[in-house]
Amino acid sequence: MYSMNPKVDFYFNKAKKWQEELEQLRLIALDCGLDEELKWGCPCYTFQKSNIVLIHAFKEYCAFLFFKGALLNDAEGIMIQQTENVQAARQIRFTSLREIMEMTSTLKAYIHEAIEVEKAGLKVELKTTTEFKMAEEFQYKLDKIPALKAAFEALTPGRQRGYLLYFSSAKQSKTREERVEKFIPQILDGKGLDD
């Protein structure tokens, strides 16, 4: 028997779209023996305090997000890498309750596989920060301002990647320069892009 976390109820109660679908995903996750928590404002299902799957809703679909989805077999070919920069997580998207109901046994199998991945202690091999593209405009500033270089290198790898992706995603040099200038004070303060 599973237990619903009352702290998570509000997420399902506030859902205007996908309410039935989200409730069904909740039951599937709980039926697999996972603990229900609220993380990042979304229902998160954990095994021995390790994140396994998250439920989230978007305008066009709702989804299960498997934290280490890249390590799952995906025998059905239903997992989606949200963007090229997402390294570990994979989504399974839904647009109807019928679709979820038909896939219930498959979804439970994926969750059980994700639990086994966690039990085995498997980790997704993440790209290192040096493997991400460095915008020339940012490299120029790092070369010219030693304090900026030191502050950037002191950031966590995730924060470094966030800046590198954000700076290099601008198509025009002028935009990249503006972005770099805007965030220099934040980097010097030891903060990440979204801090």
pLDDT tens, position by position, 19-54: 999 999 999 999 999 999 999 899 999 999 999 999
Q: Which domains does the chain have, with CATH numbers?
A: 6-119 (3.90.1150.200), 129-188 (no CATH)
CA distance 120 to 171: 42
pTM: 0.73
From the list 64, 11, 76, the residue with the least C-alpha distance to 41 is 11
End-to-end CA distance of the chain: 39
CB of 51 closer than 8 Å to CB of 43 = no
pLDDT tens, position by position, 143-192: 999 999 999 999 988 899 889 989 988 899 999 999 999 999 999 999 99
CB of 55 closer than 8 Å to CB of 48 = no
